[in-house]
């Protein structure tokens, strides 16, 4: 069920398990001033979900902001064939034959740009992610860059601890490792994000950071 978390922003959480780790997933939906909906990390497009979205507006733009966040993009494209689809470069080739499919990049001037800013976050050679800032709701939208897994199953706790994200909002340890040789780029991305006046952080997994988002984000990358 879509849940309203602000005047023009909704989330929907749904189960997602990967090798026994209960990650959960979250789709974020923003209604732009022209009535078009912006979907971040779309979930499986069931009839109910499609109907629910259609009751909110016209699905205009669908984002696949990181690897594995395109799992349900095909279904979303089929459900909303007139929408535009934007995917990060490493996964774009999967969808390049589809009409109205574009590479997410900072060079583009997106139709939603007056309301939602975006940045290609530099977090090492193996992490590709575009992050977004929705001005009206002061929300930072992340896919996998940082998240927090609260107590769930034993396996989830163990993996969460190993990754450094158990009960704390942080980037996973592998990001820390793989950015050892490119900290300058990483710091530039962190500074870029911290220029946005966000208060809330909505990752695609784990818990939402409801307030003090900039402080929490800064703290998560203090080591950088
Ligand atoms: Fe993810």
157-210 pLDDT, tens digit per residue, is 999 999 999 999 999 999 999 999 999 999 999 999 999 999 999 999 999 999
Compute the distance from residue 68 Cα to the ligand 1 centre, in Å: 6
Cα 67 to ligand 1 centre (Å): 7
d(CA 92, CA 101): 8
Three-state SS for 88? coil
CA of 205 to the centre of ligand 1 (A): 7
CA-nearest of 68, 44, 59 to 112 is 59
C-beta separation of 13 from 205 below 8 A: no
Q: At what angle do helices 213-220 and 183-194 cross, to 10 degrees?
A: 170
In a domain, 55, yes or no: yes
Distance 144 CA to ligand 1 centre (A): 5
- Percent above pLDDT 90 for the chain: 85
Ligand 1 centroid – CA 203 distance (Å): 9
Task: Using alpha carbons, list the distances in angstroms from residue 27 to 24, 70, 203.
Answer: 10, 12, 9
Ligand 1 center–CA 206 separation, angstroms: 10
* C-alpha of residue 87 to centroid of ligand 1, in Å: 14
Q: What is the mean pLDDT of residues 38-66?
A: 96
Tell whether 148 is covered by a domain.
Answer: yes
Q: Tokens standing for 128?
A: 């590709």
Q: Looking at the chain, which runs of residues are DSSP E strands? A: 3-6, 9-14, 17-18, 21-22, 25-31, 36-40, 58-64, 84-87, 101-103, 116-122, 128-134, 139-141, 200-202
Is 172 domain-assigned? yes
Are 108 and 34 spatial neighbours (Cβ–Cβ below 8 Å)?
A: no
Quote the ligand 1 centre to 188 CA distance (angstroms).
Answer: 23
Other CB atoms within a 10 A radius of the CB of residue 5 amount to 16
**How far does the centroid of ligand 1 lie from the alpha carbon of residue 23, in Å?**
8
Whole-number Å distance, alpha carbon 135 to ligand 1 midpoint, is: 23
> % helix / strand / coil in the chain, to the nearest 5?
25, 30, 45
Whether the predicted pLDDT of 152 surpasses 80:
no
Instruction: Note whether residue 59 is domain-resident.
Output: yes
Residue 115 near residue 136, CB atoms below 8 Å: yes
pTM score? 0.95
Give the pairing type, strands 101-103 and 128-134: unpaired
Structure tokens at 48: 């109910």
The range of the structural domain enclosing residue 186 comes to 3-106+116-220
Per the domain annotation, does 111 fall within a domain? no
CATH number at residue 124: 3.60.15.10
Q: Ligand 1 centroid vs 143 CA: distance in angstroms?
A: 6
Residue 216 domain flag: yes
In a domain, 39, yes or no: yes
pLDDT digits (tens, 9 = 90+) for 94-129: 888 888 999 998 888 899 999 999 999 999 999 999
Residue 199 falls inside a structural domain: yes
Q: Ligand 1 centre from 43 Cα, in Å? A: 12
| Residue among 156, 161, 187, 188 nearest 172 (CA) | 161
Sheet-wide strand order for 58-64 = 3-6, 9-14, 25-31, 36-40, 58-64, 84-87, 101-103
Distance of CA 70 from the midpoint of ligand 1 (Å): 10
Give the number of domains in the chain. Answer: 1
> Closest Cα to residue 91, out of 61, 124, 65, 59?
65
Q: What is the CA(124)–ligand 1 centre distance, in A?
A: 16
């Amino acid at each position: 069920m879509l849940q309203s978390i602000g005047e023009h922003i909704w989330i929907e959480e749904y189960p997602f398990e990967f090798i026994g780790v209960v990650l959960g997933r979250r789709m974020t939906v923003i209604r732009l001033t022209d009535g078009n909906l912006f979907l971040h990390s779309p979930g499986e497009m069931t009839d109910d979900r499609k109907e629910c979205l259609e009751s909110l507006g016209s699905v205009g733009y669908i984002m696949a902001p990181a690897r594995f966040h395109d799992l349900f993009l095909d279904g979303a494209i089929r459900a909303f064939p007139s929408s535009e689809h934007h995917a990060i470069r490493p996964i774009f080739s999967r969808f390049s034959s589809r009409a109205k499919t574009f590479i997410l990049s900072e060079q583009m001037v997106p139709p939603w740009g007056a309301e939602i800013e975006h940045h290609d976050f530099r977090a090492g050679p193996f992490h590709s992610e575009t992050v977004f800032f929705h001005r009206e709701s002061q929300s930072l939208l992340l896919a996998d860059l940082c998240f927090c897994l609260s107590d769930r199953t034993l396996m989830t706790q163990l993996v969460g601890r190993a990754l450094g994200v158990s009960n704390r909002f942080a980037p996973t340890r592998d990001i820390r490792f793989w950015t050892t040789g490119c900290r300058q780029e990483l710091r530039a991305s962190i500074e870029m994000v911290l220029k946005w006046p966000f208060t809330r952080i909505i990752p695609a997994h784990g818990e939402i950071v409801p307030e003090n988002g900039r402080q929490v984000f800064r703290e998560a990358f203090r080591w950088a």
